[in-house]
Chains A and B, each alone.
Chain A
Amino acid sequence: MKQGKLFYYIPYGLWIALFVIAPVVLIVYQSFFNIAGHFTLSNYATYFHSGVYLKMTFNSVWYAFLITAITLLISYPTAYLLNQLKHKQLWLLLIILPTWINLLLKTYAFIGLLSRSGSVDSFLTFIGIGPKQLLFTDASFLFVATYIEIPFMILPIYNAIAELSPSYVNASRDLGASGWQTFSRVIFPLTLDGVKSGVQSVFIPSLSLFMITRLIGGNRVITLGTAIEQHFLVTQNWGMGSTIGVILIVAMVITMLLTGERKKKGRTRHAK
């Protein structure tokens, strides 16, 4: 019986070993070799001693934070309102719909909208503001990145709110809590798990964005993703590229730990 159970674990074990553990091990291994193929810690030394890489890391984290914060600000009220609507599933479908379209296509669509000859600029000229440089600015980069990430934030929050039993809200109202108190003491804490997984699924990919930084940011926004691409494709310095990869993995683990489930301390269950 026990043998039989073990048998079912084999595919999962193989999958995890081949596609999760092996690549990570390879990246870590690769990061200890310099460009001449000698074992060394110099890649890490370069990383921590060069202002360029540290600044780039700061940039990546800062932009990822901004993208996550803006997405969250937009998504939470949206998810909440969605739950109040009559045809929830239809509205949800409309929000998920853009994720069916290829990322590159969406980015190119934004280039068409935001460029000098694009419709946004024509509109601004029409209402008298005059043409503005929209592409290749921080604002347009944040705007497009947020647009692309929004569905991934709305979905988990939507599910969390949908699971929230209305009786909690009613109870809170009956006991005299104001609207704000109900939200901040009851609704928000109970849907925090949705927010956490939303933050994870937006913050982590945002850390290593690189295509949008070039197409919309015009390479004026440089993140760690850009550096990795360059080290693998141009300088052929796979060691340094892997080192930055390791740093990114560490950053992601930290994010997971910070937003993950924590053991609830100081709360003992009164068993009767």
Chain B
Amino acid sequence: MKRLVSLVVVILAVSLGLGLTAHHLQRVEGVVGSGNNVLNLYNWGDYIDPALITKFEHETGYHVSYQTFDSNESMYTKIKQGGTSYDLTVPSEYMVQRMKADHLLRPLDKNRLTGMNNISSQFKNLAFDPHNEYSVPYFWGTLGIVYNDKFVKKGELTTWDDLWKPQFKDNIMLVDSSRDVLGLALMSQGHSANTHDQAQLDEAEQKLTKLTPNVKAVLDDEIMMYMEQNESAVAVTYSGNAAEMISNNSHLHYVIPKPSTNLWIDNLVIPKTAKHLKAAYAFINFMNRPENAKQNAEYVGYSTPNAPAEQLLPADVRQDKEFYPSASVIKDTQVYQDLGVKETGTYNDLFLQFKMFRK
């Protein structure tokens, strides 16, 4: 009994100590975010060069509290519930559309924005946000195929249809996302990846079940680790993940498949609940400066929409046709649109059905 009591006392004392220390650290770092000199930035994990945050803090005197999410949907849920007020967040294009429709975003005051001319016109004024009323492009990329040249020869994979070749039996990893997997089947059949046509979707589902023998696994970011370890010959993933894998394993190569693929754009937006507007605009303008956008692109590995920044990048990066494809390739790409809740459900049910289908 005595031992039990002393154990309880020790546990309480340790928790109290840890709690006080954490509170103190939070106050020092401003995580609580109550002061006026704070910018609450809600971003994807590892999606900004930390040196840029320090630079921004030195330059403007604002303190950045960086918090992360791992999917558009979880970010959306958190913003919608409104428990914390974030000043800036980074949704993908279809999520910008949904947040806009749900009145979760604050329109941008163009007079307070600088450097918008740096953004390449290819990424401005797109259907998901006409005239960029709410969003400023942050990074962009494509959906594509990574292959390992130990197992696959160059030129064996150029179209989506090549994934169905029997030689890749049990050797393909797919990204765990209904839009992307159904999208690749739809695009391989020449349809829109935003289709609402049930017949086209059923046809895509039929085609996908034939892909099952080749599918080794359906995963998220773990794909990077497995591909780097030569676990699988082929993976369907995003260009940014591909860049990271390639930098760790020189046997890997990225291909933008024909006939067309998805082009996605992540954007800076200001949620309705934002409290530090001045800091938010200062940050957007800071990131729009070419030298900062360039530094960020070098750190993160995704493609920057900032045209002067692209010119600042080393020639071998800038001229890499898989990461900075020519205008004609970009013209053929498709940008996802928000499908609405009902159709999102349909896509997910079909995807679940595909995952359930046994070899």
- A positions within 8 Å CB-CB of B: 35-36, 50, 52, 55-56, 59, 111, 115-117, 133, 135-136, 214-215, 218-220, 222, 226-227, 230, 233-237, 240
Residue of A nearest to B216 (CB): A136
A52 to B205, CA, bound (A): 14
Q: Which residues of B contact A235 (CB under 8 A)?
A: 341, 344-345, 348
Evaluate contact between A218 and B218: CB separation under 8 angstroms: yes
Number of residues in B with C-beta < 8 Å to the partner? 31
Evaluate contact between A52 and B230: CB separation under 8 angstroms: no
Evaluate contact between B217 and A218: CB separation under 8 angstroms: yes
Q: Which residues of B contact A230 (CB under 8 A)?
A: 348, 352
A222 to B349, CA, bound (A): 13
Does B356 make an interface contact (CB < 8 A)? Answer: yes
Residue of B nearest to A138 (CB): B358
A117 to B345, CA, bound (A): 38
Evaluate contact between B178 and A234: CB separation under 8 angstroms: yes
Evaluate contact between B356 and A55: CB separation under 8 angstroms: yes
The B interface is mostly helix, strand or loop, or mixed, namely helix
Q: Which residues of A contact B170 (CB under 8 A)?
A: 133
A215 to B231, CA, bound (A): 14
Contact string against A for B residues 220-249, beta-carbon threshold 8 Å, 1 for contact and 0 otherwise: 101000100111000000000000000000
A215 to B342, CA, bound (A): 29
Evaluate contact between A233 and B71: CB separation under 8 angstroms: yes
Contact string against A for B residues 144-173, beta-carbon threshold 8 Å, 1 for contact and 0 otherwise: 000000000000000000000000001001
Residue of A nearest to B173 (CB): A218
Residue of A nearest to B80 (CB): A236
Contacts A/B (CB < 8 Å), 8 sampled: A35-B345, A56-B352, A56-B356, A116-B229, A230-B352, A233-B71, A233-B73, A234-B73
Q: Which residues of A contact B176 (CB under 8 A)?
A: 214, 219
Q: Which residues of A contact B353 (CB under 8 A)?
A: 52
Evaluate contact between A117 and B229: CB separation under 8 angstroms: yes
A218 to B231, CA, bound (A): 13
Q: Which residues of B contact A214 (CB under 8 A)?
A: 176, 218-220
A152 to B181, CA, bound (A): 38
**Neighbour of B349 across the interface among A52, A117, A215, A226, CB < 8 A:** A52
Count chain B CB atoms within 10 A of each CB in A35, A133, A226, A235 and give the residue with the most: A235
Residue of B nearest to A238 (CB): B77
Residue of A nearest to B351 (CB): A230
Q: Which residues of A contact B344 (CB under 8 A)?
A: 234-236
CB contacts under 8 Å to A, within B174-226, are 176, 178, 215-220, 222, 226
**Neighbour of B231 across the interface among A52, A56, A135, A240, CB < 8 A:** A135
Evaluate contact between A237 and B231: CB separation under 8 angstroms: no
**Neighbour of B218 across the interface among A52, A59, A219, CB < 8 A:** A219
Evaluate contact between A220 and B341: CB separation under 8 angstroms: no
Q: Which residues of A contact B358 (CB under 8 A)?
A: 220
Does B355 make an interface contact (CB < 8 A)? Answer: yes
Nearest CB in chain A: distance from B91 CB, A? 14
Q: Which residues of A contact B250 (CB under 8 A)?
A: none
**Neighbour of B355 across the interface among A222, A234, A236, CB < 8 A:** A222
Residue of A nearest to B341 (CB): A35
Does B328 make an interface contact (CB < 8 A)? Answer: no
In the complex, besides A234-B178, A240-B345, 11 extra interface pairs with C-beta distance below 8 angstroms are: A36-B341, A56-B356, A116-B229, A117-B229, A214-B219, A218-B173, A218-B218, A220-B215, A234-B348, A236-B344, A237-B345
Evaluate contact between A117 and B222: CB separation under 8 angstroms: no
Q: Which residues of B contact A111 (CB under 8 A)?
A: 222
A235 to B222, CA, bound (A): 22
Q: A52-B349, A230-B352 are in contact. Are A236 and B73 (CB under 8 A)?
A: yes
Q: Which residues of B contact A233 (CB under 8 A)?
A: 71, 73-74, 77
Evaluate contact between A35 and B342: CB separation under 8 angstroms: yes
A115 to B228, CA, bound (A): 12
A111 to B226, CA, bound (A): 9
Q: Which residues of B contact A36 (CB under 8 A)?
A: 341
Q: Which residues of A contact B222 (CB under 8 A)?
A: 111, 215
A55 to B356, CA, bound (A): 8
Q: Lowest 10 CB-CB distances: which A-B pairs, in order?
A: A218-B217, A219-B218, A136-B217, A116-B231, A235-B348, A235-B345, A117-B229, A35-B341, A222-B356, A52-B353
Q: Which residues of A contact B173 (CB under 8 A)?
A: 218
Nearest CB in chain A: distance from B271 CB, A? 17
A35 to B345, CA, bound (A): 9
Q: Which residues of A contact B74 (CB under 8 A)?
A: 233
Q: Which residues of B contact A115 (CB under 8 A)?
A: 226, 229, 231
